[in-house]
Amino acid sequence: MKLAGRVAIITGASKGIGRAVALAMASEGAGVIALGNTDVAGAEDVARRIVEGGGQALAMKADVRNADEIQAVLRAALERFGSVDILVNNAGITRDNFIFRMTEDEWLEVMDVNLKGAFLTTKIIGHQMFRQRAGRIINISSVVGLRGNPGQANYSSSKAGIIGLTKTAAREFAGRGVTVNAIAPGFIATQMTERLPEASKTALLSLVPLGRPGTPEEVARVAVFLASDDASYITGQVICVDGGMTM
Q: Mind telling me the catalytic residues?
A: 155
No. of H helices and E strands in the chain?
10, 7
Q: Residue 107 carries which side chain, given as an amino acid letter?
A: W
Question: Which range touches ligand NAD (CB under 6 A), out of 8-16, 76-84, 127-135, 172-180?
Answer: 8-16
Instruction: Select 7 or 245, whichever has its Cβ closest to ligand NAD.
Output: 245
CB of 193 to ligand NAD, least distance (A): 4
User: Interface mask (CB under 6 A) for ligand NAD, residues 49-88, using x and -?
Assistant: --------------xxx-----------------------
Instruction: Select 147 or 176, whichever has its Cβ closest to ligand NAD.
Output: 147
Q: Residue 152 carries which side chain, given as an amino acid letter?
A: Q
Residues 6+ apart with CB under 8 A from 221: 24
18 forms part of the interface with ligand NAD (CB under 6 A): yes
- Out of 34, 90, 220, 224, the only residue in the binding site for ligand NAD (CB under 6 A) is 90
187 forms part of the interface with ligand NAD (CB under 6 A): yes
CA distance 135 to 238: 17
92 forms part of the interface with ligand NAD (CB under 6 A): yes
User: Interface mask (CB under 6 A) for ligand NAD, residues 94-133, using x and -?
Assistant: -------------------x--------------------
CA distance 16 to 11: 11
CB of 176 to ligand NAD, least distance (A): 26
Count of residues for the chain? 247
CA distance 247 to 245: 6
Contact between 43 and 13 under an 8 Å Cβ cutoff? The reply is: yes
Q: Residue 241 carries which side chain, given as an amino acid letter?
A: V
Residues 131-170 that bind ligand NAD (CB under 6 A): 140, 142
45 forms part of the interface with ligand NAD (CB under 6 A): no
CA dihedral 105, 111, 97, 139 (to 10 degrees): -160
Residues 6+ apart with CB under 8 A from 53: 26, 27
Contact footprint for ligand NAD (CB under 6 A): 11-12, 14-18, 36-37, 39, 63-65, 90-93, 113, 140, 142, 185, 187-188, 190-193
